[in-house]
C-alpha cells in the first residue's frame, strides 16, 4: 500500500457545556454508528482521531491516496445514515469564521514538520 495521506481539520462546537458533553458522548467508541464507521472505511479513511479543547475540535485523518472527501457513501443505506448523522451533528457544530456557506471541517495548513527540520 502506498503512503497514506494525512489531513488536519478544524471545526468549532456551539459553546454550550451540555451540548459539548452530548457531542463527546456520540463520539465514544461504544456509541459509534456502525454504518458511519463502515462508510469511512469504504471511502478510504484508514484512521481518524478527533481532539477537543473548549469549543474547538481538531481532526487528524489518514486516508488512502485516492481518497475524495466529496465522494458520497457507496450504498443507499450509507448515504441515508450519513445524512442523518450530519444533520444531527450540525445541532452541536458551528462553522469556523473562515468557512464558506455549507462548509464544516476546514483543512489546516502544516507550518512545521520535525522530520523535515532534522534533514
Give the pLDDT band (50/70/90) at residue 111: very high
Cα–Cα distances (Å) from 36 to 18, 43, 107, 118, in that order, read 24, 11, 21, 39
Cα–Cα distances (Å) from 94 to 77, 99, 110, 115, 119, in that order, read 26, 10, 23, 34, 39
The pTM score is: 0.92
Domains annotated on the chain, with CATH: 5-118 (3.30.70.1090)
Is it the case that residue 2 has pLDDT exceeding 90? no
Q: Which residues of 78-116 are buried (b: 16+ CB within 10 A; e: fewer)?
A: beebbeeeeeeeeebbebeeeeeeeebbeeeeeeeeeee
Cα separation, 69 vs 56, whole angstroms: 21
Extract the C-alpha cell encoding 61.
485523518
Q: What's the pLDDT score for residue 1?
A: 58
pLDDT tens track for 32-90: 999 999 999 999 999 999 999 999 999 999 999 999 998 999 999 999 999 999 999 99
Cα separation, 119 vs 116, whole angstroms: 5
Amino acid at each position: 500500500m502506498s503512503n497514506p495521506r494525512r489531513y488536519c481539520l478544524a471545526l468549532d462546537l456551539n459553546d454550550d457545556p451540555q451540548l459539548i458533553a452530548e457531542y463527546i458522548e456520540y463520539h465514544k467508541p461504544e456509541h459509534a454508528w456502525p454504518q458511519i464507521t463502515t462508510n469511512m472505511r469504504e471511502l478510504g479513511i484508514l484512521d481518524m482521531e478527533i481532539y477537543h479543547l473548549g469549543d474547538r475540535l481538531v481532526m487528524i485523518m489518514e486516508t488512502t491516496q485516492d481518497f475524495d472527501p466529496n465522494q458520497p457513501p457507496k450504498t443507499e443505506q450509507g448515504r441515508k445514515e450519513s445524512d442523518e448523522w450530519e444533520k444531527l451533528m450540525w445541532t452541536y457544530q458551528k462553522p469556523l469564521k473562515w468557512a464558506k456557506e455549507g462548509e464544516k471541517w476546514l483543512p489546516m495548513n502544516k507550518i512545521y514538520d520535525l522530520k523535515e527540520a532534522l534533514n
